[in-house]
Amino acid sequence: DIQMTQAPSSLSASVGDRVTITCRASQTIAYYLNWYQQKPGRAPNLLISAASRLQSGVPSRFSGSGSGTFFTLTISSLQPEDFATYYCQQSYTTPLTFGGGTKVQIK
Amino acid sequence: QVHLVESGGGVVQPGRSLRLSCVVSGFTGTSYGMHWVRQAPGKGLEWVAIIAYDGSNEYYADSVKGRFTISRDNSKNTLYLQMNSLRREDTAVYYCAETTGSGNSLDVWGQGTTVTVSS
């Protein structure tokens, strides 16, 4: 199985900060990497697919990059509604696997 | 706008069975596959199973292989997860999700249904 390692597991940031979350795959997954946002008590929501494809309705302050084994999710200017947990997920092969999550908290 | 609604969760004793359902409504367009994903209390997301749009292929996480069966009835726009030989570690919120593109991203999610395995 492909292991997905996210870093950090949690971070504290202020509104307006630039935040970067990394995701590393245990083997190459080309660009088959997706990012999700989950707020407490809610289902996850797809933010970015195929490493860098922003989903319709997702603010442009979110961006994704990377290929192969290393990927990043960047929030250019953190907003109050962005405080949540973020997960990466590889869709290169089954079993599909998620990273452990990054909880973004208010500083 | 596609809308997914899960049902069937509840409290069940270890070793017993439960069947979850997920009704798909709204404009579905092209569906590449449907999934079940679960989240144990306070934990991260765990992918459980996928079934192709026509039901021709299924894949499972090792943790549920041989115990869980995913199926779909397209005439009823419904996805199922038959869960047998339930264990305490199967306790989780179970989400259904749909892949509407070719990359196996989980594009649309239901709100989840809670399964608690406890004696």
List of chain B residues whose C-beta atoms are within 8 Å of the C-beta of residue A32: 103-104
Q: Which residue of A has its CA nearest to B57?
A: A94
Average pLDDT value for residue range A22-30: 98
pLDDT of res. B54: 85
pLDDT in tens, B21-65: 999 998 666 677 999 999 999 999 999 999 998 888 999 999 999
- Who contacts B94 (Cβ-Cβ below 8 Å, separation ≥6)? B6, B9, B20, B36, B37, B38, B48, B81, B112, B113, B114, B115
List of chain A residues whose C-beta atoms are within 8 Å of the C-beta of residue B109: 43-46
Least confident of A40-54, A88-102, B17-31: B17-31
pLDDT of res. B55: 83
Is residue A2 less than 8 Å (CB to CB) from chain B? no
List of chain B residues whose C-beta atoms are within 8 Å of the C-beta of residue A44: 37, 45, 95, 106, 109
pLDDT of res. B29: 64
Q: In the structure encoding, which two tokens stand for residue B46, read together?
A: 């765990």
Of A32, A98, A99, the CB nearest to B103: A32
Q: Do A49 and B107 touch (CB under 8 A)?
A: yes
pLDDT in tens, B85-110: 999 999 999 999 999 887 789 999 99
pLDDT of res. B101: 81
